């Protein structure tokens, strides 16, 4: 019996993830063959994708996700879902359409809009591509007084 072969295609080294290194180690410990590739956005996809039993996608650019269509039957997470989680507004809309409860959410176009409603909101950048916890202000955390700071494009209540 051959072991399962899992290939991770990720946008950054798994060592920079809070979870993926442990997942890869647990899989290897269980006898699974694990490969990790961090392909550059314009680079060809790595060889050996046909040999993988399962492809795990995380943090890839749209161009890369589109090129992975021939392996769709092997995805752990489909590229449509992978693209959706990098756009918070799209993700919230999709969850709401599917009947999943989501917090009251709106797009802010200026910091003054966020500052006017107080500091009891979770404020997030519209793109989640910046990494875990980046671009997020929790309730009670100070809001930038400098109106020149990057404007949050998605704000939601707790």
Based on the domain organization, do 77 and 112 belong to the same domain? no
Based on the domain organization, do 72 and 9 belong to the same domain? yes
pLDDT at 34: 96
Look up the domain containing 52 and give its range. Answer: 5-84
Write the pLDDT tens digit of every residue in 6-54.
Answer: 999 988 888 877 788 999 999 999 999 999 999 888 888 899 899 999 9
Element (H, E) at 112: helix 111-116
Q: pTM score, two decimals?
A: 0.60
Based on the domain organization, do 26 and 78 belong to the same domain? yes
CB neighbour list of residue 54: distance below 8 Å, 6 or more residues apart:
4, 5, 6, 7, 74, 75, 76
Write the pLDDT tens digit of every residue in 66-122.
Answer: 888 888 888 887 777 777 777 777 778 888 899 998 888 877 777 777 778 777 777
The rounded percent of the chain whose pLDDT value lies above 90 is: 20
Based on the domain organization, do 75 and 110 belong to the same domain? no
State the Rg of the chain over Cα: 19
Q: Does 146 have pLDDT greater than 70? A: no
Rounded CA gap, 4 and 36, in Å? Answer: 14
Based on the domain organization, do 26 and 64 belong to the same domain? yes
Based on the domain organization, do 75 and 101 belong to the same domain? no
Q: Can you read off the two tokens belonging to residue 102?
A: 């989501």
Element (H, E) at 152: none
Element (H, E) at 79: helix 79-84
The neighbouring-strand residues paired with 37 are 9
Q: Does 1 have pLDDT greater than 60? A: no
Asked whether 28 and 34 are in contact (CB, 8 A), the reply is yes
> What dihedral angle (degrees, nearest 10) is formed by the CA atoms of 70, 76, 79, 81?
150
């Amino acid at each position: 019996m051959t072991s399962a072969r899992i290939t991770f295609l990720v946008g950054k080294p798994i060592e920079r993830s809070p979870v993926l290194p442990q997942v890869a180690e647990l899989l290897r410990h269980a006898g699974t063959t694990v490969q990790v590739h961090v392909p550059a956005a314009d680079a060809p996809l790595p060889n050996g994708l046909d040999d993988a039993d399962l492809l795990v996608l995380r943090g890839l650019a749209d161009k890369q996700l589109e090129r992975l269509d021939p392996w769709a039957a092997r995805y752990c997470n489909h590229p449509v879902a992978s693209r959706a989680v990098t756009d918070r507004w799209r993700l919230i809309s999709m969850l709401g359409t599917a009947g999943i409860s989501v917090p009251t959410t709106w797009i802010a176009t200026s910091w003054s809009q966020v500052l006017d409603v107080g500091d009891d909101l979770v404020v997030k950048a519209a793109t989640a591509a910046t990494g875990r916890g980046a671009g997020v202000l929790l309730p009670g955390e100070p809001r930038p007084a400098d109106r020149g700071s990057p404007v949050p494009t998605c704000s939601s209540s707790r």
